[in-house]
Amino acid sequence: MGWGGRQVLRDRNVAFYLSGVVVSGFGSSAMALAAGVWAKSLTGSDSLAALTTFCVWAPLLFGPLIGTVADRVRRRPLLIWVNLGMAVVMVPLLAVDSGDQVWILFAVLTVYGVSSVLLDSAEAALVAAVVPETLRGDFNGLRMTANEGMKLIAPLLGAGLFVQFGGAAVALLDAVTFVLAAAAFTLIRVSEPALHPAGADRWTAAAAEGIRHLRHHPALRRLVLAGAATMGVAGLNGAVVYAVVDAGLHRSPAFAGVLYAVQGTGSVLSGLFAGALLRRMSEPVFAAAGMGLFALGVTLRAVPSTPVSLLASAMIGAGLPCVLIAAMTAVQRETPGDLLGRVAATANTLLFAPNALTLAAGAGLVALVDHRVLLLTAGTAAAIAAAGCLLGGNARTHAAAPTPAGSTDPEDKVAEATEAPHDPR
């Protein structure tokens, strides 16, 4: 079971692509922490500090529509111009220095959220053209490793910059990383065919095509729904972490940072070996194995022991990325290129929206229900989702054929395509 990461990194296009993702992710991770602290320091309001996260997450709910843009233009120029545009968008933050200007921060963060959805969908679509199919599992694993690694390092730098120089310094850092990411994407050499999008008055119909593709593709639907259930459980798990630290381990709130660091380390390691594992097993099996590990980790968090909690955090970190990597790898392979932006954005909406919703619900439940009950419930739910991921079988299937232009019943055409005989990969 060889590690394909070395082969992936030897590819010039992939190296520049990952460089752009890493640099941009570094700036985004630094800004994610600083934005809440900035709002809190300007207004003194915990609610407004929490609203910064909502502004970034809210556009995810419109993922299918936003992802349509990535299917109407060439993806590499789109990545370049969106990153350059976001560098410009960060400039107004340099003037924010009082509570009555905090609306500028919220406006920028909302645009930030829209750009994140658009960049993710364009990146997922470009991967199909840049990365060989046999190495996409390795690539997606390395991308996950890079993102999780940035989450371990960048927030500390962002917090340090904020304390020393204020929020404007973090905004400036983020703007620079956007420019560097655009430069990295400029160096990618890829031949993208001209796209022939539907008319400008059919945005909702175009978005619906991405939704239909997922709905009528059994393998993708099963993976994405399993991932959505797991991410929903992850939100509940995240909501009770401070109760685990306080009521369970009898430690100060700062110890939550240790648990998150261990969890992030588990995610980094999981991403490194994802590609090699995906060459030995199908996506549903790989996803279910990770979900089972995640479920066990969540359950073990109910044990009032520091060593067990550290082990549980590592298991959660290692298990959770598996279903995300499996789902995105399958989406990239099973989706026609002209639909990939919309389908990737739709999948991301389904995968990550439950996390935000259950995080908010869990924040209320933890005040009413013992955290151990919530953890045991969450672990059981994750285990059931893992079993459900396997119920439809573990064979890989080829992508459904795109709906012919002018079809009078596109939904039936997609359904017929997904029912066609498939060759094993």
- Concatenated DSSP letters of 297-354: HHHHTTS--HHHHHHHHHHHHHHHHHHHHHHHHHHHHHS-GGGHHHHHHHHHHHHHHH
- Mind listing the pLDDT tens digit for each residue in 296-319? 999 999 999 999 999 999 999 999
> Please, what sign has the CA dihedral across residues 375, 379, 381, 382?
positive
Out of 15-24, 107-116, 176-185, which region has the weakest mean confidence (pLDDT)? 15-24
Q: C-alpha angle 272/278/280, rounded to 5°?
A: 120
Residue 167 clears pLDDT 70, i.e. is over it: yes
User: What is the share, in percent, of the chain residues with pLDDT greater than 90?
Assistant: 23
Q: Do the beta carbons of residue 36 and residue 153 sit within 8 Å?
A: no
Residue 223 clears pLDDT 70, i.e. is over it: yes
For the chain, give the mean pLDDT.
Answer: 80
- At 176 the pLDDT is 94
Nearest to 400 by CA among 223, 196, 132, 220: 220
Domain-wise residue ranges, the chain: 1-197, 204-395+403-420
Is pLDDT larger for residue 140 or for residue 228? 228
- At 104 the pLDDT is 92
- At 397 the pLDDT is 43
What is the mean pLDDT of the segment spanning 315-340? 88
Tokens of 155: 């927030």
Task: State which CATH number among 1.20.1250.20, 3.30.360.10, 3.40.190.10, 3.30.2310.20 fits the domain covering 1-197.
Answer: 1.20.1250.20
Q: Measured between alpha carbons, how far is 160 from 19 in angstroms, rounded to an integer? A: 24
Per CATH, the number for 204-395+403-420 is 1.20.1250.20
> Please, what sign has the CA dihedral across residues 270, 275, 276, 282?
positive
Is pLDDT larger for residue 264 or for residue 289? 289
pTM of the complete model beyond 0.75: no
Dihedral in degrees, nearest 10, Cα atoms 354, 355, 360, 364: 90
- At 413 the pLDDT is 35
Q: Measured between alpha carbons, how far is 302 from 310 in angstroms, rounded to an integer? A: 12
Contacts of 368 (CB under 8 A, 6+ apart): none
Out of 9-18, 115-124, 235-244, 370-379, which region has the weakest mean confidence (pLDDT)? 9-18
Q: Do the beta carbons of residue 185 and residue 17 sit within 8 Å?
A: yes
Would you call 141 helix, strand, or coil by DSSP? helix
Burial zone of 253 (CB within 10 Å; 0-12 exposed, 13-18 middle, 19+ buried): exposed
Q: How confident is the model at residue 8 (pLDDT cuts 50, 70, 90)?
A: low
